[in-house]
Structure 1
Amino acid sequence: MPIERVFIVSDFAELNGGQAKVAIDSARLLADAGIAVTFFAVSGPPDEALEHPKIDVTCLNQPDILSDTNRLRAMGRGIWNREAAHRLRQEIGGFDPKTTVLHAHGYAKALSPSVGPILTDGPLPSIYTMHEYFLACPNGGFYDYQKNEICTRKALGIDCLTTNCDVRKPAHKAWRVARQVATWGPGRIPRGLKDVIYISETQRRAMTPYMSPNTRMHYLPNPIEQTDAPKVDFKNNNVFLFIGRLNPEKGGLMFAKAAKKAGVKAVFVGDGAEADQIRAANPDAILTGWQTPAQVQEWIGKSKALVFPSLWYETFGLVAFEALARGVPVICGEWNAASEGVEHGVNGLLYKEPTIEALALSLSKADELKELESQPLLETMTPRVHLEKLLRIYHEISQP
């Protein structure tokens, strides 16, 4: 039987990051295809993109963990949000499992592991999209924020439990561990999940040791927005562009220092904790703060290359693929997921080590890149193809 309704479950109904964007974009794609969607989220307000005759929105209007001023309440809800689980069970009750599916996009910032049993043992066929690594890693990134390096410790192993890898302080790591215990224990995830979507091979490799051999894994990269903006004549540009949060794991500070060393023009579109350090390290760099989508496209149009210096694995690297779609080369490290879209010396440059020197050398070689040819990988990431693959996955998981 065809799928008639999809419950999309998300921490956020507002557009505040890549995870929410994919959830909201999926809702729109499904609704435009004539499929009824119920968008269930904890934190709002709902984005205007969810205003559609085929989309119903249920938003609990609770603050997410970080923005809740009542810290004790935030800690409790972060480990087990009883109201979110109760309301979700009410929402999905009575719908036909032959024509309805439940699709979750994360839980760690507001929903909590309490929704896990609904995914693993609820009345509807369900699937979970991994946008990060919270199903395994307490801090969600397989990244040691104290040492600024990828973490290869076994999640919740002795080394993990005795190491403060948190971006904040040891007490916060302890809380994250408690949440992870709840995730693996009463939350029943990831081991109890029947179907999981992964968005890159990098992510799949990192997560495989923590998944049940009985879980069906489905590859579905994020959709890349199609823009009417023209292809970029990057060879006549001089801007090396960074787009994203200016946080330590994103590598912005390393890029600032490498750009200064290489003598190239660095532009940072975004904001975050390292903004002042970036200004100090490279006074000639331009920091624009957060920009509208149209303004971001303008900066891409002025770029010689999109620099994606992220120091952790990442899970996809959406901005890198968006730049490639405009004909702008990408410079990134071999270890992060964005590298999967880069053919060294063809549509970008890859460097092997997360060092200022290695990145600076790549920046200095950007003039050697030639005009980008057609890129078959991007053709598999269009919204149309994404929807087709998503519907096939829904059909597969709804079969008895």
Structure 2
Amino acid sequence: MKILQLHNFYKISGGEDVVVRAEKNVLEAHGNSVALLDVDNDAIASKFSQAMTAVNAIYSHASKQRVLQEINRFRPDIVHVHNFFPLLSPAVYDACREARVPVVQTLHNFRLFCSNSFFYRDGKVCEDCMGKFFPTPAVVHACYRDSHVGSAVVGTMQTVHRIRGTWRDRVERYIALTDFARNKFIEGGLPANKITVKPNFVSVDPGCGEGRGDYALFVGRLSPEKGIETLITAWEKLGDRIGLKIIGDGPLSPTVEQAATRIPGVEWMGRQSQNQLQALLKNAQVLIFPSLWYETFGLVVIEAYAAGVPVIASNLGTMSLLIDPGRTGLLFRAGDAQDLQERVEWMLSHPQEVKKMRQEARREFESKYTATQNYQQLMEIYETVRS
């Protein structure tokens, strides 16, 4: 099969970018031909380019022509859209319709219904724009990059394409990453019969680790919605009972750097390669996943499972589905540093139970999140839209 992937990479790479490359690799490994048409937000630098991006985010005729040219060159059986925002724009769907190529869209975030894509504002879950004709609350609160104008642009894009029927009519199949996310997209107005659940996967099996390191691990973007402040507060109370290694960067990097100098056992390691991450995971006692937003998936959770590492996560949205409390990890009240502290202390005082959790975490990976299983699921989706 020939698959054309479309993706807008972010300035700070995240889970979406990892998934795009992983799916490309697994498709090609099974003999399929894959072309990736990508753009990068690094191109948005000057004031002029920012202004043009705002206009084109609603509808980019240039992107439509670029996609049409690539379709004519590559002749794909499927176009798989991962992220069109902001540079590609929803115009890519019109290009595919004109070329009569079916579209599959992975819903990596909630951008179709939320201006900042997180359903998150002021430290907590926010769904104020859900069901609104126009997302006025997002404009009032400057939810997109703290900009009233930028939020109005995103809101206009959402509204125009809902009225045009873009989301309803121009995508043959959506992929949601969990049942929780699927239900949110249905609530937002996407047709239920077009949404299939397919989780993300771990492309390279790292093998099960032994957890010999005396540390917990956090991996992710250092930003407010990821629960960084909850994490730091919990470790202020835990003291040096167990170390904490923090991997990642982002707007809260200065906060994390300061915490690492102040709190015993806390170490900020910045960004790490995939090989380095796998090594750190295999020796970790536990992965901490303290997000304050729903998360559409949480790739690092299943990377931890692949290494046999249990997870302590917020009892919120998708996390409450990925973690089986008492078997593959524990859940704590989102934003509650004391509750997180108590869950970590429970693990430290129950080594035999944690040993069993490590075994169950690995089994969870083997039963649901391998590359082979995911490839089969993806091909079934592709075959459905081709028939």
In 2, distance between residues paired with 1:26 and 1:387? 8
In 2, distance between residues paired with 1:24 and 1:68? 31
Alpha-carbon spacing, 1:14–1:259, altered in 2? closer, same or farther (3 Å)? closer
Q: In structure 1, list runs of 5 or more residues that go unmatched.
A: 44-61
1:111 alignment partner, SS class: coil
> 1:193 aligns to what?
171
User: Does 2:286 align with 1:302?
Assistant: no
- Retained in 1: the 8 A contact 2:113–2:129? no
The CA deviation string for residues 145-164 of structure 1, in whole angstroms up to 9 with x for no partner, is xx111112243627941341
- How far 1:90 moved relative to its partner? 2.2
- How far 1:100 moved relative to its partner? 0.9
1:238-317 equivalences under 5 Å are 238-263=214-239, 264-281=242-259, 283-284=262-263, 285-317=266-298
More helix by share: 2
- Retained in 1: the 8 A contact 2:278–2:307? no
> 2:326 aligns to what?
345
> 1:26 aligns to what?
23
In 2, distance between residues paired with 1:82 and 1:158? 25
> 2:370 aligns to what?
382
Query: Quick one: which of 4, 12, 35 aligns to 1:7?
Result: 4
> 1:52 aligns to what?
none
> 1:391 aligns to what?
379
> 1:38 aligns to what?
35
User: Does 2:61 align with 1:82?
Assistant: yes
Structure 2 length-normalised TM: 0.87
1:189 alignment partner, SS class: helix
C-alpha RMSD of matched pairs (Å): 2.7
> 1:223 aligns to what?
201
- Retained in 2: the 8 A contact 1:78–1:112? yes
Deviates further, 34-43 or 322-331:
34-43
In 2, distance between residues paired with 1:237 and 1:195? 43
Alpha-carbon spacing, 1:143–1:121, altered in 2? closer, same or farther (3 Å)? farther
The CA deviation string for residues 190-214 of structure 1, in whole angstroms up to 9 with x for no partner, is 5643311111122112211123436
- Retained in 1: the 8 A contact 2:134–2:156? no
User: Does 2:112 align with 1:135?
Assistant: yes
1:60-209 equivalences under 5 Å are 63-65=42-44, 70-93=49-72, 100-119=77-96, 122-144=99-121, 147-155=122-130, 157=132, 160-162=135-137, 163-164=140-141, 166=143, 167-186=145-164, 188-190=166-168, 192-209=170-187
Deviates further, 78-87 or 154-163:
154-163
Report how many aligned residue pairs link the two structures.
372
In 2, distance between residues paired with 1:10 and 1:109? 10
- How far 1:112 moved relative to its partner? 1.4
> 1:373 aligns to what?
359
- Retained in 2: the 8 A contact 1:68–1:74? no
- How far 1:24 moved relative to its partner? 1.8
- How far 1:277 moved relative to its partner? 1.9
Query: Quick one: which of 301, 304, 308 aligns to 1:320?
Result: 301
- How far 1:101 moved relative to its partner? 1.2
